[in-house]
């Protein structure tokens, strides 16, 4: 057991995630598969809520962003054009003492992170992170394909389709949420660095002269999004990249970072990718992907501002940020809009018509939100179970309900209680839960 409070917090959170069906090790009954995770009933609701809010705020509530859902498998020339086939690599070394495999740039002072031996490593080898597969009946060089390592290239490949079919005008964005795959040398830190993960990405196309303005806009927009849904400001940072950190095609980049128990790490990157991607795909596909701006009577390759967020990393950050251990309870203080369960309904006891009344309220709420029904154990224990799941409201039917047609609504964070008429429960909860 670690003596470091932050390590202990992370261990306790991982334990809670398994115990309360947020996250399981993938194929656990067979010993698992490193870097792969399964989301349980609570975890899938939490992650889906986060993705739905991202989609609503990035696509549905705006008039300048369209959505797509591109194929995971693409023509391999896409990855030649993007540079992934040639250069999407990590430097890899093996420890000669314990046979552990590590990224060379993660080795400090030539000491093995696992066994502690020094200066006992193989020569650096460059390891391509893309998963390779074959399409069709034959497994030869002509059938090679890749699981996409990022979702943005599907957007660039569809740029001309969107321009020609959706009557969009620069500036505009194309967004998608989807799976990506990277054969990480050393997956670590729970779900933070995985081999299979989900991205929430948007490519915003603009005139080259306006790219600096939009870069600043999207940095602030995306930073504010995490604060809007409850991430504590003191744990969230917007860090500009130094010139030495920039990709060769980028004019600027900033990371939104979060103070995880294992250190301050990237949640999302916002990059000014210039016109690199559209030019490269034009070159390799022989298809002109430049844009004719009728207002300016000018043809150009738009610059791209890319906010790229990890859905799994965001889910982990919201879990970490919400997690608190108090003297009498463990609680997940989720923002109500991302909480997996919005409300729980209890009969105080299983008699005197209370179960029937509670079931009626439960069925009404279940039509609108993910709602849980619990009639097992003392009501205090039921509250604690819901606190641990992050449920913001618990509704109890008691002996007075039949008399005054009201119920007790208990708030998770303050534990304060309100008496609310049965026919006004939905109205009472809606301001907290509705998008």
Following DSSP, what letter does each residue of 174-230 receive, concatenated? EEEEEEEE---SS-BTTTTB-SEEEEEEEEEEE-GGGHHHHHHHHHHHHHHHHHHTT
421: confidence class by pLDDT, cuts 50, 70, 90: very high
Residues 236 and 194 in one domain: yes
Q: Kindly state the percentage of the chain with pLDDT values over 90.
A: 83
Based on the fold, state whether residues 236 and 381 are members of the same structural domain.
no
| Helix (H) / strand (E) containing 359 | helix 354-366
Domain boundary among 292, 321, 350: 321
Give the pLDDT score at 29: 95
Cα–Cα distance measured from residue 302 to residue 289, given in angstroms and rounded to the nearest whole number:
9
| Residue 117 domain-assigned (yes or no) | no
Residue 350 has pLDDT above 70, yes or no: yes
Tally of domains within the chain: 2
pLDDT at 103 over 80: no
* Spatial distance between the Cα atoms of 271 and 309, rounded to a whole number of angstroms: 11
Same domain assignment for residues 274 and 346: no
CATH code assigned at 385: 3.40.50.800
Is residue 138 a part of any domain in this protein?
A: no
Say yes or no to pLDDT of 218 above 60: yes
Predicted pLDDT of residue 109: 84
Q: Are residues 347 and 216 part of one domain? A: no
Classify residue 426 by burial, with Cβ atoms within 10 Å: 0-12, 13-18, 19+. middle
Same domain, 228 and 162: yes
pTM over 0.75: yes
Domain boundary among 267, 290, 321: 321
Task: Tell me if residue 291 falls in helix, strand or coil.
Answer: strand
Lowest average pLDDT, out of 111-115, 223-227, 288-292, goes to 111-115
- For the record, the structure tokens of 368 come out as 């609108």
Answer yes or no: is 44 within a domain. yes
Mean pLDDT of 184-198: 91
In a domain, 131, yes or no: no
Residues 314 and 204 in one domain: yes
Task: Judge if 370 and 300 occupy the same domain.
Answer: no
214 part of a folded domain: yes
Mean pLDDT of 63-67: 97
Task: Categorize the per-residue pLDDT at 3 as very low, low, confident or very high, splitting at 50, 70 and 90.
Answer: low
Q: Are residues 174 and 294 located together in one domain of the fold?
A: yes
Do 261 and 315 share a domain, yes or no? yes
Q: Which domain covers residue 369, as residue numbers?
A: 341-433
Tell whether 68 and 177 lie within a shared domain.
Answer: yes
Is 10 inside a domain boundary? yes
pLDDT band at 342 (very low <50, low <70, confident <90, very high): very high
pLDDT in tens, 369-392: 999 999 999 999 999 999 999 999
Q: Collapsing DSSP states into helix, strand and coil, what is residue 404?
A: helix
Residue 142's pLDDT is: 83
Query: How far is the C-alpha of 96 from the C-alpha of 99, rounded, in Å?
Result: 5
Whole-angstrom Cα distance, residue 82 to residue 154? 11
3-state SS assignment for residue 57: helix
Mean pLDDT of the chain: 94
Q: What are the tens digits of pLDDT across the range 296-337?
A: 999 999 999 999 999 999 999 999 999 999 999 999 999 999
Mean predicted confidence (pLDDT) in 85-102? 82
* Alpha-carbon 164 to chain mean position: 31
Q: Is the pLDDT of residue 2 over 70?
A: no
Q: Half-sphere exposure of residue 7, counting CA atoms within 13 Å on the CB side? A: 4
CATH of the domain at 282: 3.30.930.10
H or E stretch covering 394: strand 393-397
- Residue tagged 């670690």 (tokens): 2
Whether 1 shows a pLDDT value over 60: the answer reads no
DSSP state of 5: H
Q: Beta partners for 308?
A: 201, 269
The alpha carbon of residue 177 and the mean position of all alpha carbons in its chain are separated, in whole angstroms, by 10
Say if residue 220's pLDDT is above 70: yes
pLDDT at 189 over 80: yes
Residue 318: the pLDDT is 98
For the chain, the farthest-separated pair of C-alpha atoms sits apart, in whole angstroms, at 79
Question: Does the CA dihedral 270-274-275-277 come out positive or negative?
Answer: negative
Please check the confidence at residue 195 and state whether its pLDDT lies above 60: yes
Residues 367 and 418 in one domain: yes
* 271 within some domain: yes
- Residue where a domain terminates, one of 260, 287, 321: 321
Helix (H, G, I), strand (E, B) or coil at 45: helix
Residue 322, φ and ψ in degrees, nearest 5:
-85, -20
Round to whole Å and give the CA distance between 239 and 216.
12
Same domain, 289 and 189: yes
For residue 120, is pLDDT > 90?
A: no
Per-residue pLDDT averaged across 40-68, rounded? 98
Lowest-pLDDT range of 105-119, 154-168, 183-197, 321-335 = 105-119
Asked if the structure places residue 298 within a domain, the reply is yes
């Amino acid at each position: 057991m670690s003596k470091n409070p932050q390590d202990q917090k992370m261990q306790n959170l991982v334990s809670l995630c398994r115990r309360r069906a947020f996250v399981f090790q993938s194929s656990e009954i067979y010993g698992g598969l490193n870097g792969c995770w399964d989301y349980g009933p609570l975890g899938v609701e939490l992650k889906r809520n986060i993705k739905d809010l991202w989609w609503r705020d990035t696509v549905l509530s705006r008039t300048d962003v369209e959505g797509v859902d591109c194929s995971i498998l693409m023509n391999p020339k896409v990855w030649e054009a993007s540079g992934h086939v040639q250069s999407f690599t990590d430097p890899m070394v093996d420890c000669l003492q314990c046979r552990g495999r590590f990224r060379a740039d993660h080795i400090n002072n030539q000491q093995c992170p696992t066994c502690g031996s020094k200066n006992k490593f193989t020569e650096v080898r460059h390891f391509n992170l893309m998963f390779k597969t074959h399409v069709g009946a034959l497994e030869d060089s002509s059938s090679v394909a890749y699981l996409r390592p990022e979702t943005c290239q599907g957007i660039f490949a569809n740029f001309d389709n969107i321009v020609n079919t959706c009557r969009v005008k620069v500036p505009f964005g194309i967004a998608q949420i989807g799976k990506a795959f990277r054969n990480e040398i050393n997956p670590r830190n729970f779900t933070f660095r995985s081999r299979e993960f989900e991205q929430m990405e948007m490519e915003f196309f603009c005139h080259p002269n306006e790219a600096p303005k939009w870069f600043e806009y999207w940095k602030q927009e995306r930073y504010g999004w995490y604060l809007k849904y409850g991430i504590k400001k003191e744990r969230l940072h917007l860090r500009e990249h130094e010139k030495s950190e920039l990709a060769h095609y980028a004019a600027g980049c900033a990371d939104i970072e979060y103070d995880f128990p294992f250190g301050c790490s990237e949640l999302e990157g916002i990059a000014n990718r210039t016109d690199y991607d559209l030019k490269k795909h034009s070159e390799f596909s022989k298809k002109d992907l430049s844009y004719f701006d009728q207002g300016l009577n000018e043809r150009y390759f738009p610059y791209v501002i890319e906010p790229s967020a990890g859905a799994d990393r965001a889910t982990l950050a919201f879990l970490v940020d919400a997690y608190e251990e108090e003297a009498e309870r463990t609680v997940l203080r989720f923002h109500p809009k991302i909480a997996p369960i919005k409300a729980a309904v209890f009969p105080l006891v299983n008699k005197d018509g209370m179960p029937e009344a509670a079931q009626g309220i439960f069925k009404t709420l279940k039509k609108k939100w993910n709602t849980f029904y619990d009639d097992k154990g003392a009501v205090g224990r039921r509250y604690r179970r819901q606190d641990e799941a992050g449920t913001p409201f618990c509704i109890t039917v008691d002996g007075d309900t039949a008399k005054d047609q009201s119920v007790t609504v208990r708030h998770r964070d303050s534990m304060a209680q309100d008496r609310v008429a049965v026919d006004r429960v939905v109205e009472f909860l809606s301001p907290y839960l509705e998008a």
